[in-house]
Amino acid sequence: MQFLAELLILSYFSIHFAHAQNIFPDHFRLGVASASYQIEGGWNASDKGENIWDRLTHEHPEVIKDNSTGDVACDSYHLWKKDVEILKNLGVDYYRFSISWTRLLPTGRVDKISSDGLKYYNDLIDSLLENKIEPVVTLYHWDLPQALQYFGGWTNLITSDFFAQYARLVFSRFGDRVKTWITINEPYSICETTYGDFQGAPLIHSPGIGDYLCGKTILVAHSKAFHIYDKEFREKQGGKIGITIDTIWAEPRTNKSEDVEAAEREMQMSFGWWAHPIFSTNGDYPEIMKSRIEERSRQENFVESRLPSFTKEEILNLRGSADFLGLNHYNTKLISNTEFPIGEPSFQKDKGTSAFQDPNWKPNKHTVPWGFRKLLNWIKREYDNPLVYITENGFPDEGQLQDVGRVIFHKEMMKAMLQAIGDGCNIQSYTVWSIMDNMEWRDGYTIKFGLYQVDFNNPNRTRTPKASAKFFKTVIETRTIPENITMFIE
């Protein structure tokens, strides 16, 4: 009798446990994201100032794959009520969007505040709250005021002061209602993809130099905004503030020790560049980053390291300057050790690594759930299990309504994340990039990430739900990842 009871209890738990792997923990939050330049349009509406993406797309249309601009994009500047409608229909817990710096401050400075800019974000925030959707706000998602680019933008440390003033204004105007702040979105892309790889605004080619100057300013800017919030607003407003860092998972290409070390170096230098100063016990850049760049700079006849050092005070101000680590993750790559001859400096040469995506990965090279799980565990080990919000995860395709690839991607990635939570990782939210198709930077409108399709040929920019929207709505309703996805696909 006792044996039978035990067997029953055991089988109950094993069934329950198998099921639990697809169920989100209590209080886990699900949402979607966008960014001002990619959706708002209204590039010159009212008194909005020009930003570096307006400038780039207007002066160098050939840099954008389809020669397009974000002048109109999804026209969310005019159609934001439609956005709230589709968010409500999805049932999301929160909506992550960014504030366009020059819509609020046309010159980038706080001496001139746009009343229409204030009204736009006030209306959006109020409407989200009326519909029980929490606003999660990014202060900087790549659209730097052109006025600040004239004197060097992020390569000039003074930009951190302008950012701090902008941040204080935003907290004071919206912080009574916004309780989750992200200072900077994707520092790697802001500094490396632009100054290092020459792939985005401000389109200045300065590898191994401009990228590192930019990196220092971005980190200092983040810490200034954090401490302003902490000292002047936290007590009254009671919110949280963090940073969003983008990274691949770096898997060694072979089991040879040089490749295993190269993959670890890739993680330390691409991700640790940003995470180590804020989330590690010692602070500052990772040791390997400092020593490699210093050594190579010496070989290249520089009199000091190309990596600008932090002062003692900057190191202390950065260390611990986040309530959470926002993580954007899109790809896993295979990394091998590569020796580059001395020549023109670059971040890649400083790292001494090469990256490769395996086209034979299943279900496809964009969907590598085991890489995501390994990344989350690496973060847990490396930074003493910080609070992590997944602030972006997404899948590119051509924009079809039957977006099976996207459904499979989010299903598999969310499962891998739940496994990582089972491994003990402290992850509390998952954000789909993106609520709708939008202006995908240098790719223009050629690749799509949305749960909703946007008709860019219709002045109404009609939003239509894809299979992935129906899938994600069900996930949110049931707080469960369905194993069988055929019901979402026609």
Ligand X SMILES: *[C@@H]1O[C@H](CO)[C@@H](O)[C@H](O)[C@H]1NC(C)=O
19/16 Cα distance (integer angstroms)? 5
Interacting residue with ligand X among 6, 59, 66, 230 (CB under 6 A)? 66
The DSSP-derived string for 116-132 is HHHHHHHHHHHHHHHTT
Q: Which CB atom, from 255 or from 299, has the smaller least distance to ligand X? A: 255
DSSP at 71:
S
Question: Rule CB under 6 A: is residue 460 a binding residue for ligand X?
Answer: yes
Tell the smallest beta-carbon distance from residue 71 to ligand X (Å): 4
Q: How far is the CB of 354 from ligand X (least distance, A)?
A: 15
457 interacts with ligand X by CB under 6 A = no
Q: How far apart are CA 93 and CA 282, in angstroms?
A: 35
Smallest gap, in angstroms, from Cβ of residue 379 to ligand X? 22
Q: Does 291 help bind ligand X (rule: CB under 6 A)?
A: no
Asked if 301 touches ligand X (CB under 6 A), the answer is no
CA angle 137/140/268 to nearest 5° reads 105
d(CA 279, CA 180): 18
Q: How many CA atoms lie within 13 A of 461 on its CB side?
A: 19
Q: Is there binding between residue 71 and ligand X (CB under 6 A)?
A: yes
User: How many residues of this chain bind ligand X (CB under 6 A)?
Assistant: 10
Given 2, 281, 301, 458, the residue binding ligand X (CB under 6 A): 458
Q: Does 443 bind ligand X (CB under 6 A)?
A: no
Q: Distance between alpha carbon 320 and the CA centroid of its chain, in Å?
A: 19
257 interacts with ligand X by CB under 6 A? no
| From 61-69, 150-158, 378-386, 429-437, span contacting ligand X (CB under 6 A) | 61-69
Residue listed under structure tokens 């091998």: 336
Q: Which residues pair with 149 in a beta bridge?
A: none
Tell me: cis bond preceding 202? Omega within 30 of 0 counts. Answer: yes
Retrieve residue 70's tokens. 């974000």
Structure tokens at 159: 């930009």
Give CA–CA dist 35/143, Å, rounded: 9
Q: Which is nearer to ligand X, 299 or 458 (CB)?
A: 458
- State the binding string over 78-117 for ligand X (x if CB under 6 A, else -): ----------------------------------------
Interface characters, 10-49, with ligand X (x: CB under 6 A): ----------------------------------x-----
Query: Which is it for strands 463-465 and 452-454: parallel, antiparallel or unpaired?
Result: antiparallel
Instruction: Tell me the catalytic residues.
Output: 186, 392
> 99: which DSSP letter?
-
254 in contact with ligand X (CB under 6 A): yes
Q: Hey, what are 404's tokens?
A: 């099976």
* From 208-216, 373-381, 454-462, 467-475, span contacting ligand X (CB under 6 A): 454-462
Out of 2, 115, 255, 301, point to the residue binding ligand X (CB under 6 A). Answer: 255
Site for ligand X contains 67 (CB under 6 A)? yes
The stretch near ligand X (CB under 6 A) out of 227-235, 242-250, 310-318, 457-465 is 457-465
Contact 211, 158 (CB under 8 A): no
Contact residues for ligand X (CB under 6 A)?
44, 62, 66-67, 71, 254-255, 458-460
